[in-house]
Amino acid sequence: MFREATRAERQAPKVPGAKLLARLLSAAVLAAACLGAAPAVLEWIDYVQWGGSVDVPPPGRWAFLLMLLCLLEIAYAVYLWQLADWMSLLVVATAALVLAGLYAIALGLTLVSRATEGLVGEHGLQLGHHLAGGKAAMWSLLMLAVWALVALFAARLSLQWRRAEQALGGHGSGR
């Protein structure tokens, strides 16, 4: 069922500290996911706490979408924690770039759209009442910056790890 490691795989050089850095980056991805979930969690807490009031609308579609996105981010953090190697870092860097792109789209929508129109209105994400104070735009900008930095650090660490393994003559995953 499981094959034994070959002699070359057992003797493959390991890159010191790279696995620890990958796990630290995994913790950073988890922290970024929790930061990203904060507006949706606060929206749900307000609704549960004050749901009987007329002034508190139920959570919008954006809160459900954001929680789904944060679950995906948590899955990538767990993936990187379990498989801490240069290829997993490259996968997480790619996913972080995609997430940064999604937050850039959200930033564009919040800056250009009016509260009652298009994708942010009542028939879309139901984000209209958060646009007035600029909270949604600032949060989108923050998350764009966070995920762009995660992508940068993951890609740099992945490339450095891969180069170090190639320089040492290894072809393993550095475990």
Domain annotation covers residue 25: yes
Quickly count helices (H) and strands (E) in the chain: 5, 0
Range from 10-19, 41-50, 80-89, 156-165 carrying the lowest mean pLDDT? 10-19
Domain annotation covers residue 142: yes
User: Is residue 164 pLDDT above 90, yes or no?
Assistant: no
HSE (side-chain half, CA atoms, 13 Å) at 146: 20
Q: Report yes or no: 75 and 83 within 8 Å, Cβ to Cβ.
A: no
User: Is residue 46 pLDDT above 80, yes or no?
Assistant: no
CA pair distance 107, 140, nearest whole angstrom: 5
Domain annotation covers residue 5: no
Domain annotation covers residue 57: yes
Domain annotation covers residue 136: yes
Three-state SS at 163: helix
DSSP label at residue 115: T
Query: In this predicted structure, what is the pLDDT of residue 68?
Result: 93
- Determine the structural domain holding residue 57 and report its residue range: 16-167
Residue 77: pLDDT band with limits 50, 70, 90: very high
Domain annotation covers residue 2: no
Quote the number of domains for the chain.
1
Q: Give mean pLDDT, residues 43-51.
A: 77
Residue 12: pLDDT band with limits 50, 70, 90: very low
Longest dimension (CA), the chain: 70
In terms of pLDDT, which residue wins out, 77 or 124?
77
